[in-house]
Amino acid sequence: MNVIVAGAGRLGTQIAQVLGAAQNRVTLIDRDDDRVAALRGHVPAELYWGDACEPGVLEDAGAGAADLLVATTGEDEDNLVISLLAKRQFKVARVLARVNDEDNAWMFTPHWGVDTAVPGAAPLISLIEEATSATDTVALLRLSKAGVDVIETTITTHSRAAGRTLGELAVPSGIVVTAVVRGGEPLAPAPDLRLREGDELLIVSHTATESEVHAVFQ
Protein backbone atom coordinates (compact mmCIF):
# COMPACT_ATOMS: atom_id res chain seq x y z
CA MET A 1 0.00 0.00 0.00
CA ASN A 2 1.29 3.46 -0.90
CA VAL A 3 0.73 5.84 2.00
CA ILE A 4 1.30 9.57 2.42
CA VAL A 5 1.40 11.01 5.92
CA ALA A 6 1.14 14.80 6.04
CA GLY A 7 2.62 16.16 9.24
CA ALA A 8 5.73 14.76 10.93
CA GLY A 9 4.76 15.57 14.50
CA ARG A 10 4.57 12.90 17.17
CA LEU A 11 1.40 11.30 15.78
CA GLY A 12 2.41 11.46 12.13
CA THR A 13 5.83 10.01 12.89
CA GLN A 14 4.32 7.13 14.89
CA ILE A 15 1.92 6.35 12.06
CA ALA A 16 4.78 6.36 9.56
CA GLN A 17 6.81 4.06 11.80
CA VAL A 18 4.01 1.53 12.21
CA LEU A 19 2.83 1.50 8.59
CA GLY A 20 6.40 1.42 7.31
CA ALA A 21 7.20 -1.52 9.60
CA ALA A 22 4.18 -3.33 8.14
CA GLN A 23 5.87 -3.21 4.70
CA ASN A 24 3.85 -0.32 3.30
CA ARG A 25 5.55 2.31 1.14
CA VAL A 26 5.26 5.47 3.24
CA THR A 27 6.11 9.07 2.42
CA LEU A 28 6.18 11.48 5.37
CA ILE A 29 5.80 15.18 4.56
CA ASP A 30 6.52 18.17 6.78
CA ARG A 31 7.25 21.84 6.15
CA ASP A 32 9.79 22.03 8.99
CA ASP A 33 13.08 21.21 7.29
CA ASP A 34 14.88 20.77 10.62
CA ARG A 35 12.33 18.16 11.71
CA VAL A 36 12.62 16.35 8.40
CA ALA A 37 16.42 16.32 8.67
CA ALA A 38 16.28 14.99 12.24
CA LEU A 39 14.02 12.09 11.21
CA ARG A 40 16.14 10.85 8.32
CA GLY A 41 17.36 7.35 9.00
CA HIS A 42 15.06 6.95 12.00
CA VAL A 43 11.73 6.30 10.27
CA PRO A 44 10.99 3.55 7.69
CA ALA A 45 9.62 6.14 5.28
CA GLU A 46 10.69 8.51 2.55
CA LEU A 47 11.03 11.98 4.08
CA TYR A 48 9.83 14.92 2.02
CA TRP A 49 10.15 18.59 2.91
CA GLY A 50 7.32 20.90 1.88
CA ASP A 51 3.86 22.25 2.65
CA ALA A 52 1.30 19.52 1.93
CA CYS A 53 -1.34 22.22 1.44
CA GLU A 54 0.33 22.96 -1.90
CA PRO A 55 -0.76 20.73 -4.80
CA GLY A 56 2.75 20.69 -6.26
CA VAL A 57 4.19 19.28 -3.04
CA LEU A 58 1.60 16.50 -2.89
CA GLU A 59 2.19 15.70 -6.54
CA ASP A 60 5.96 15.50 -6.12
CA ALA A 61 5.48 13.33 -3.02
CA GLY A 62 3.50 10.79 -5.06
CA ALA A 63 -0.11 11.61 -4.18
CA GLY A 64 -1.22 10.52 -7.63
CA ALA A 65 -0.27 6.92 -6.81
CA ALA A 66 -1.30 6.92 -3.12
CA ASP A 67 -3.80 4.41 -1.77
CA LEU A 68 -4.11 6.21 1.55
CA LEU A 69 -3.40 9.70 2.82
CA VAL A 70 -3.37 10.60 6.50
CA ALA A 71 -3.46 14.30 7.40
CA THR A 72 -2.06 14.70 10.91
CA THR A 73 -0.92 18.30 11.15
CA GLY A 74 -1.71 20.35 14.24
CA GLU A 75 -3.95 22.72 12.27
CA ASP A 76 -7.47 21.69 11.33
CA GLU A 77 -7.64 24.06 8.37
CA ASP A 78 -4.47 22.50 6.95
CA ASN A 79 -5.81 18.99 7.40
CA LEU A 80 -9.01 19.93 5.56
CA VAL A 81 -7.16 21.53 2.65
CA ILE A 82 -4.83 18.53 2.37
CA SER A 83 -7.79 16.12 2.47
CA LEU A 84 -9.70 18.04 -0.19
CA LEU A 85 -6.69 18.13 -2.50
CA ALA A 86 -6.00 14.46 -1.96
CA LYS A 87 -9.54 13.41 -2.78
CA ARG A 88 -10.55 15.87 -5.49
CA GLN A 89 -7.29 16.50 -7.35
CA PHE A 90 -5.36 13.27 -6.80
CA LYS A 91 -8.26 10.81 -6.40
CA VAL A 92 -6.76 9.16 -3.33
CA ALA A 93 -9.00 6.22 -2.45
CA ARG A 94 -8.91 6.65 1.33
CA VAL A 95 -8.30 9.84 3.30
CA LEU A 96 -8.03 10.08 7.08
CA ALA A 97 -7.75 13.39 8.87
CA ARG A 98 -6.99 14.34 12.43
CA VAL A 99 -9.43 16.68 14.20
CA ASN A 100 -7.51 18.86 16.66
CA ASP A 101 -10.43 20.97 17.87
CA GLU A 102 -13.65 19.03 18.45
CA ASP A 103 -15.64 22.17 17.61
CA ASN A 104 -14.43 21.74 14.02
CA ALA A 105 -15.43 18.08 13.75
CA TRP A 106 -18.59 18.91 11.79
CA MET A 107 -16.46 20.02 8.82
CA PHE A 108 -14.53 16.76 8.54
CA THR A 109 -16.88 15.11 6.06
CA PRO A 110 -16.69 13.68 2.53
CA HIS A 111 -17.60 17.16 1.29
CA TRP A 112 -14.06 18.14 2.33
CA GLY A 113 -12.58 14.90 1.07
CA VAL A 114 -12.42 13.21 4.48
CA ASP A 115 -13.42 9.55 4.56
CA THR A 116 -12.63 9.10 8.24
CA ALA A 117 -12.21 11.83 10.86
CA VAL A 118 -10.09 10.86 13.86
CA PRO A 119 -10.35 12.91 17.08
CA GLY A 120 -7.05 14.32 18.24
CA ALA A 121 -7.45 12.51 21.56
CA ALA A 122 -7.96 9.11 19.92
CA PRO A 123 -5.24 6.57 20.71
CA LEU A 124 -2.75 5.66 18.04
CA ILE A 125 -4.11 2.11 17.84
CA SER A 126 -7.56 3.39 16.84
CA LEU A 127 -6.10 5.46 14.04
CA ILE A 128 -3.94 2.63 12.76
CA GLU A 129 -6.95 0.29 12.80
CA GLU A 130 -8.82 2.81 10.64
CA ALA A 131 -5.87 3.15 8.28
CA THR A 132 -5.30 -0.57 7.84
CA SER A 133 -8.78 -2.05 7.94
CA ALA A 134 -8.03 -4.19 4.90
CA THR A 135 -4.97 -5.78 6.48
CA ASP A 136 -5.32 -8.89 8.64
CA THR A 137 -2.01 -8.58 10.45
CA VAL A 138 -0.28 -5.31 11.30
CA ALA A 139 2.10 -4.08 13.93
CA LEU A 140 -0.10 -1.64 15.81
CA LEU A 141 2.48 -0.24 18.12
CA ARG A 142 6.22 -0.76 18.10
CA LEU A 143 7.66 -0.33 21.56
CA SER A 144 11.27 -0.10 20.44
CA LYS A 145 12.71 0.94 23.76
CA ALA A 146 11.25 -2.11 25.46
CA GLY A 147 12.00 -4.37 22.51
CA VAL A 148 8.35 -5.44 22.38
CA ASP A 149 5.88 -5.48 19.51
CA VAL A 150 2.12 -5.38 19.88
CA ILE A 151 0.59 -7.13 16.88
CA GLU A 152 -3.03 -7.61 15.86
CA THR A 153 -4.29 -10.37 13.58
CA THR A 154 -7.86 -11.14 12.54
CA ILE A 155 -9.15 -14.66 11.97
CA THR A 156 -10.85 -15.20 8.59
CA THR A 157 -12.66 -18.16 7.04
CA HIS A 158 -9.39 -19.16 5.40
CA SER A 159 -7.21 -18.84 8.51
CA ARG A 160 -5.57 -22.05 9.67
CA ALA A 161 -6.52 -21.11 13.24
CA ALA A 162 -10.25 -20.89 12.50
CA GLY A 163 -12.14 -23.57 14.44
CA ARG A 164 -9.12 -24.53 16.53
CA THR A 165 -8.44 -23.78 20.18
CA LEU A 166 -5.51 -21.67 21.27
CA GLY A 167 -4.06 -24.74 22.96
CA GLU A 168 -4.03 -26.63 19.65
CA LEU A 169 -1.90 -24.01 17.90
CA ALA A 170 1.86 -24.37 17.79
CA VAL A 171 2.63 -20.90 19.14
CA PRO A 172 6.41 -20.34 19.33
CA SER A 173 7.99 -19.15 22.54
CA GLY A 174 8.20 -15.39 22.69
CA ILE A 175 4.64 -14.94 21.38
CA VAL A 176 1.91 -14.28 23.94
CA VAL A 177 -1.78 -13.93 23.05
CA THR A 178 -2.98 -11.28 25.50
CA ALA A 179 -6.61 -10.90 24.39
CA VAL A 180 -9.19 -12.16 21.94
CA VAL A 181 -11.83 -9.64 20.89
CA ARG A 182 -15.09 -11.18 19.67
CA GLY A 183 -18.01 -8.99 18.66
CA GLY A 184 -16.40 -6.05 20.40
CA GLU A 185 -16.05 -7.95 23.70
CA PRO A 186 -12.62 -8.97 25.04
CA LEU A 187 -12.22 -12.63 26.01
CA ALA A 188 -9.56 -14.21 28.19
CA PRO A 189 -7.15 -16.19 25.97
CA ALA A 190 -7.66 -19.56 27.70
CA PRO A 191 -6.11 -22.64 26.03
CA ASP A 192 -9.59 -24.12 25.40
CA LEU A 193 -10.92 -20.99 23.68
CA ARG A 194 -11.93 -22.00 20.15
CA LEU A 195 -11.22 -19.31 17.58
CA ARG A 196 -13.90 -18.14 15.17
CA GLU A 197 -14.02 -16.10 12.01
CA GLY A 198 -13.89 -12.40 12.93
CA ASP A 199 -11.97 -12.91 16.17
CA GLU A 200 -9.29 -10.27 16.66
CA LEU A 201 -6.17 -11.41 18.51
CA LEU A 202 -3.86 -9.01 20.31
CA ILE A 203 -0.38 -10.49 20.52
CA VAL A 204 2.73 -9.33 22.35
CA SER A 205 6.16 -10.49 21.27
CA HIS A 206 9.78 -9.42 21.66
CA THR A 207 11.12 -11.86 19.05
CA ALA A 208 8.52 -12.66 16.39
CA THR A 209 7.87 -10.62 13.28
CA GLU A 210 4.48 -9.89 11.74
CA SER A 211 5.10 -12.57 9.10
CA GLU A 212 5.89 -15.18 11.78
CA VAL A 213 2.67 -14.33 13.62
CA HIS A 214 0.80 -14.54 10.32
CA ALA A 215 2.26 -18.00 9.71
CA VAL A 216 0.87 -19.27 13.03
CA PHE A 217 -2.65 -17.92 12.78
CA GLN A 218 -3.34 -17.33 9.08
Give 130-188 pLDDT, tens digit per residue: 655 544 444 444 444 445 567 778 898 889 899 999 999 988 777 778 778 887 677 77
Give 29-48 pLDDT, tens digit per residue: 999 999 899 888 888 899 99
Q: Enumerate the CATH 3.40.50.720 domain ranges in the chain, comma separated.
A: 2-131
> Is 70 exceeded by the pLDDT of residue 22?
no
Q: Enumerate the CATH 3.30.70.1450 domain ranges in the chain, comma separated.
A: 137-217
Residue 146 confidence (pLDDT):
44
- Confidence tier at 63 by pLDDT (50, 70, 90): very high
CATH number for region 137-217: 3.30.70.1450
Give 73-120 pLDDT, tens digit per residue: 999 999 999 999 999 999 999 899 999 998 999 999 999 999 988 887
What value does the mean pLDDT take over residues 47-72?
Answer: 95
Residue 61 confidence (pLDDT):
95
Helix H, strand E, coil C: the string for the chain is CEEEEECCCHHHHHHHHHHHHCCCEEEEEECCHHHHHHHCCCCCCEEEECCCCCHHHHHHCCHHHCCEEEECCCCHHHHHHHHHHHHHHCCCCEEEEEECCHHHHHHCCHHHCCCEEEECCCCHHHHHHHHCCCCCEEEEEEECCCCEEEEEEECCCCCCCCCCEHHHCCCCCCEEEEEEEECCEEECCCCCCECCCCCEEEEEECCCCHHHHHHHHC
2-131 to CATH, choices 3.20.20.70, 3.40.50.720, 3.10.129.10, 3.30.1490.20:
3.40.50.720
